[in-house]
């Protein structure tokens, strides 16, 4: 954990140094040229540092067949740096570098081998850098870009690539966004200890990862947003996606009515279709009403409805609070059954309650502080946001998350 915080701190020092150099360059440029010339030198647009803490608890762990502790804690730190320059054609090239480091502990994962005191599966660190390039025309608002990403943890690696496109109407009241993503994953097949082939020594070790198996995901997003009038904006979002490969988590157990136990087994293909509608209403200078609805279905038989409401409220020009509430209701996949309820003749089976019929509530608030002279007098630290949310699920899962966002411009 110390290494994670030290890493973020070193990046922070680098930010301050970059700002000082960039500001000096801008000052010199302004002194020498008062025209509309756009500098082709790279300069820092924005920096964000986000830290979050998440904790959950429950009694329906999929690792132990739908019963047992779901206790999990996660500390996440992300850092993103946005820099830009104008090319000789006057187009803006924006480069965004982001790196995230998560450290988590999971009591349920440690039950892969319940006889071990502690194993590699109980705690892990995930590292996930990404790089995005976008070329935009500031006169028309049109843009396109590409991005690449990488993620790694104990039993899993992922390589991702994406393309994004934005087009605006001439009056800029209508915007169309299109995005394609591909994630090529490899993860180790780790079985519950009692379902492994034992070595000549008499037992296997939870730290011995099995063979790698691929899982590929292909996501797309189509959205169109429309300014209806000065107060109302609407957006329609369609996000079809397709997955292929090992989609079951093999160290999760399923128990059957005849007393037997097997490793979770699910189809190796999955098609998802979420459709969302977002409405933002600017009531006045103090209140904004943000609403969102999404319908989801997939070919595993899961269907879900999600509704969300957030009301950012400006207390004064520099301070605002944003209470929010989200409700979700879903009908579970046809492959789900609780502990000991699977039919012995079933081909596919899971006791993961994320795939069950359930309802959930998520509520909380965020506070944002944006003083004109910078937070605590630090001019470049122009925004601090703190958010807290509490999650309650009908399966008795409870969780809390708190996050802190620092923005430098």
Between these two residues, 39 and 314, which has the higher pLDDT value?
A: 314
Between these two residues, 270 and 114, which has the higher pLDDT value?
A: 270
- pLDDT > 70: percent of the chain: 85
The reported pLDDT for the residue numbered 110 is 74
Tokens of 222: 């189509």
Which of 8, 94, 90 shows the shortest CA–CA distance to 51?
Answer: 8
Between these two residues, 300 and 41, which has the higher pLDDT value?
A: 300
Q: Where does the pLDDT of residue 207 fall: very low under 50, low under 70, confident under 90, or very high at 90 and above?
A: very low
Q: Where does the pLDDT of residue 226 fall: very low under 50, low under 70, confident under 90, or very high at 90 and above?
A: very high
Hey, what domains does the chain have and what are their CATH numbers?
2-30+42-408 (2.40.160.40)
Q: Where does the pLDDT of residue 278 fall: very low under 50, low under 70, confident under 90, or very high at 90 and above?
A: very high
The Cα–Cα gap between 80 and 382 comes to: 16
Mean pLDDT confidence for 253-258: 96
Contacts of 195 (CB under 8 A, 6+ apart): 261, 262, 263
The reported pLDDT for the residue numbered 146 is 98
The reported pLDDT for the residue numbered 208 is 52
Q: Across 106-110, 120-124, 201-205, 315-319, which has the greatest mean pLDDT?
A: 315-319
Mean pLDDT confidence for 282-300: 96
CB 67 within 8 A of CB 114: no
Tokens of 207: 């730290």
Q: Does the structure show a pLDDT above 50 at 236? A: yes
For the stretch 59-91, pLDDT in tens is 999 999 999 999 999 999 999 999 999 999 999
Least trusted range by pLDDT, from 114-128, 185-199, 371-385? 114-128
CA 109, 331, 310, 365 torsion-angle sign: negative
Q: What are φ and ψ of residue 214, in 5° steps?
A: -85, 150
Mean pLDDT confidence for 365-374: 92
The reported pLDDT for the residue numbered 409 is 87
CB 43 within 8 A of CB 21: no
Mean pLDDT confidence for 212-236: 96
Q: Does the structure show a pLDDT above 80 at 34? A: no
Q: What are φ and ψ of residue 117, in 5° steps?
A: -70, -45
Mean pLDDT confidence for 246-254: 94
Q: Does the structure show a pLDDT above 70 at 401? A: yes
Query: End-to-end distance of the chain based on CA atoms, in angstroms?
Result: 28
The reported pLDDT for the residue numbered 33 is 46
Mean pLDDT confidence for 259-267: 96
Mean pLDDT confidence for 181-203: 79
Tokens of 346: 């079933």
Mean pLDDT for the chain?
88
CB 408 within 8 A of CB 46: yes
């Amino acid at each position: 954990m110390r290494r994670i915080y030290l890493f973020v701190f070193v990046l922070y020092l680098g930010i301050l140094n970059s700002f000082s150099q960039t500001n000096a360059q801008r000052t010199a440029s302004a002194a020498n040229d008062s025209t509309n010339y756009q500098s082709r030198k790279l300069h820092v647009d924005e920096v964000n540092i986000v830290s979050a803490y998440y904790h959950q608890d429950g009694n329906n762990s999929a690792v132990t067949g739908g019963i047992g502790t779901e206790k999990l804690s996660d500390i996440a730190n992300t850092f993103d740096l946005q820099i830009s320059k104008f090319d000789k054609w006057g187009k803006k090239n924006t480069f965004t570098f982001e790196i995230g480091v998560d450290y988590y502990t999971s009591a349920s994962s440690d039950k892969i081998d319940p006889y071990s005191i502690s194993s590699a599966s109980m705690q892990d660190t995930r590292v996930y850098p990404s790089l995005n390039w976008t070329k935009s025309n500031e006169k028309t608002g049109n843009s396109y870009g590409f991005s690449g990403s990488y993620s790694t943890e104990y039993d899993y690696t992922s390589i991702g690539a994406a393309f994004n496109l934005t087009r605006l109407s001439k009056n800029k009241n209508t915007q169309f966004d299109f995005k394609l993503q591909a994630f090529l994953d490899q993860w180790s097949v780790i079985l519950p200890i009692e379902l492994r082939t034992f070595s000549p020594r008499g037992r296997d070790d939870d730290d011995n990862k099995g063979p790698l198996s691929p899982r590929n995901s292909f996501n797309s997003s189509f959205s169109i947003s429309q300014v209806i009038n000065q107060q109302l904006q609407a957006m329609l979002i369609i996000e079809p996606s397709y997955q292929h490969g090992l989609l079951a988590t093999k160290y999760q157990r399923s128990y059957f009515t005849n007393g037997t136990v097997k490793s979770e087994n699910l189809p190796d293909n999955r098609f998802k279709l979420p459709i969302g509608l977002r409405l933002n209403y600017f009531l006045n200078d103090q209140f904004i009403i943000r609403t969102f609805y999404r319908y989801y279905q997939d070919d595993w038989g899961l269907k879900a409805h999600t509704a969300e409401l957030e009301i950012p409220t400006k207390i004064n020009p520099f301070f605002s609070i944003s209470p929010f509430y989200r409700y979700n209701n879903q009908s579970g996949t046809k492959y789900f059954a609780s502990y000991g309820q699977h039919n012995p003749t079933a081909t596919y089976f899971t006791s993961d309650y994320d795939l069950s019929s359930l309802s959930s509530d998520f509520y909380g608030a965020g506070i944002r502080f944006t003083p004109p002279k910078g937070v605590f007098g630090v001019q470049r630290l122009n925004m601090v946001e703190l958010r807290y949310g509490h999650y309650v699920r009908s399966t008795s899962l409870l969780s809390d998350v708190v996050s802190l966002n620092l923005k430098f411009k």
